[in-house]
Amino acid sequence: MGNKNPKKTFFFNKAGNSSRANREGLGIFFIEVLKIAVISLAIIMPVRYFLIQPFVVKGGSMEPNFSSGDYLIIDEISYRFTEPQRGDVIVFKYPRNPSQYYIKRILALPGEKIQIKNGVIIIFNNEHPGGIEVDESYIPENISTPGEIDAVIGEQEYFVMGDKRTASSDSRVWGKLEKNKIIGRAWIRGWPIDAIGKIEIPQY
């Protein structure tokens, strides 16, 4: 009788193939996550550093309209296309220490003259050469503006004050604010919850 060819048995390493596929799948997953992270940063970073930025109010110089701990979103882009206006609440670098950031309200604009006397604020400009009293509806009636000021505002300068006039270090103390110190205007309040919303600019 002739010898029969022995049967050959083949074993397939299914576990090994599955493990390799899992590793490849994880590699693809991490690459996709990395792509998403890079794209997200490419979108978020310019927004964070060139368009808006968060700001937390510290201290009570802007009470009763802004309190310590309020979380604000600062619009950094608008002033590249428009000029700051009276009544704008702005964040800026403190002239005497640029590492500190202050929040105040603009009261007088470039080219104007401001007088403060007996608690009354008078603005002189081309529209009102004889002067006009600033009507600040956002300030409680029992809050006055102490100080005796008679100042002309130069080009690229602003006169700013805190809303709590009796407890604010502002232009009455350290002088006029140069425009290049301004970071941006307070745009949205994100905290506290009951005050969330867009920050309105008063009409004078």
- Tens digits of residue pLDDT in 4-51: 555 555 444 555 555 665 556 566 766 766 656 555 444 455 455 555
CATH number of the domain at 57-198, please?
2.10.109.10
Who wins on pLDDT, 157 or 51? 157
Confidence of residue 127 (pLDDT cuts 50, 70, 90): very high
Question: CB-based contacts of 63: which residues, under 8 Å, 6+ apart?
Answer: 163, 164
- pLDDT over 70 (residue 117): yes
Residue 48: how many other CB atoms lie within 10 Å: 13
Residue 188: alpha-carbon gap to chain centroid? 8
Q: Is the backbone peptide bond immediately before 192 cis, with ω within 30 degrees of 0? A: yes
| Under 8 Å between Cβ of 44 and 147 | no
pLDDT of residue 144: 86
Side chain identity, residue 149: I
pLDDT of residue 204: 83
pLDDT of residue 111: 97
